[in-house]
Amino acid sequence: MPSDQGRRPVREGPIDCAYSDDGVRVVLDGSPRTVRAALAVTLGALAPLRLSRDTIQSLELVLAEVMNNIVEHAYADVPSGRIELRVDLRNGALSCQTLDDGAPLPRGLVPDPPRPEPADAPQGGFGWLLIKSLVSDLDYVRAGRRNRLRFRLPVVQAA
């Protein structure tokens, strides 16, 4: 796909997407289905950056976990809510940010759940573990009635 075509703003159902030179800004009405679609739009928009397969794989997983957390917890009491996602390539890493207007994280902090033990065959509690094992500089701020989560994902060079 020619890159100038990739820079056109896209509206795909409840998802808005705008491109910049080094990244993408996606706004969605959060639900499990729109998170799926937003991931596809985001990864498509970042295609011109020619990220390695490993980087794309980790980015997709982390963004899925972060946005599903927002849908399931921050917006637990509402059918859907607005999520704004930004991903920018900056200083050799993907700088990521989500904004939402849902409930704050418990105690205003990024959760630090106990590491799930395989022997217990747990069926949940993996989300933050996956996020934390893949990102750096994880930072959460509650500003007014809005949640802002920021983190960086290292760009892994193709082998």
Smallest gap, in angstroms, from Cβ of residue 2 to other proteins?
26
110 binds other proteins (CB under 8 A): no
Minimum CB distance to other proteins smaller for 18 or for 134: 134
Of 67, 84, 51, 68, the closest CA to residue 153 belongs to: 51
13 binds other proteins (CB under 8 A): no
64 binds other proteins (CB under 8 A): yes
Supply φ then ψ for residue 131, to 5 degrees. Answer: -60, -50
Which string of x and - marks every residue 24-63 that binds other proteins (by CB under 8 A)?
--------xx-xx----------------x---xx-xx--
79 binds other proteins (CB under 8 A): no
157 binds other proteins (CB under 8 A): no
Of 136, 130, 5, 133, the closest CA to residue 66 belongs to: 130
114 binds other proteins (CB under 8 A): no
Q: How far from the centroid of its chain's Cα atoms is residue 7's Cα?
A: 20
What is d(CA 86, CA 18) in angstroms, rounded to the nearest whole number?
10
Q: Which token pair is 150?
A: 């920021």
Minimum CB distance to other proteins smaller for 11 or for 33: 33
Among residues 106, 114, 124, 144, the one that binds other proteins under rule CB under 8 A: 124
Q: Which token pair is 16?
A: 């808005």
Q: How far is CA 158 from CA 50, 52, 56, 155, in A?
A: 10, 5, 11, 9
**For binding to other proteins (CB under 8 A), which residues are involved?**
32-33, 35-36, 53, 57-58, 60-61, 64-65, 68, 71-72, 116, 118, 121-124, 126-127, 129-130, 133-134
